Structure 1
């Protein structure tokens, strides 16, 4: 959320460029920014770099621009629910056990009266 891409002369770009597409770990990435954050446009460059390295939008990479959002805990709190749902989706529903009665292969006969 709201990464500081500017840090260390935009070293994140260099790190992504060095990634080996074949050895890429199966990670899900949420990348977002508020449009009132300084340098928010850099997130688009990072997004495009991740896509070039094999991440797929809306599959294992989610990108979001919060119109008017700033770099604050309040702005991030508004997006946190969507972040958690993307990174930790609910598990698929468990199939209910079958209620069908299994018939025995051999039918028992009623015992004869003695």
Structure 2
């Protein structure tokens, strides 16, 4: 298992006049052959049944971007990317509210498929 390290941008502030809680996030990458599995460890409740609905503090889903590609909305704590070509890749992982507004908790990782 490869544990990747990346810089995290974490900010706190208020939304709609209410103090917002910032969830914490750690990410582990498991590279096997030509695939990577991204495991997200967070104290935010991942709530697929509320995806796209009203914002609830400390609840939401994950956005991932592979190699600066399109947003992938992830509604569980892990995602596998199969059949990756050999070479260097980048994955960006960020936490979002149910309504897709960001929590401003983001990490970016580089990894290599051999």
Q: Same fold (TM over 0.5)?
A: no
Q: Please state which structure has a larger fraction of its residues in strand.
A: 2
TM-score of the superposed pair, with normalisation by structure 2: 0.23
TM-score normalised by L of structure 1: 0.23
More helix by share: 1
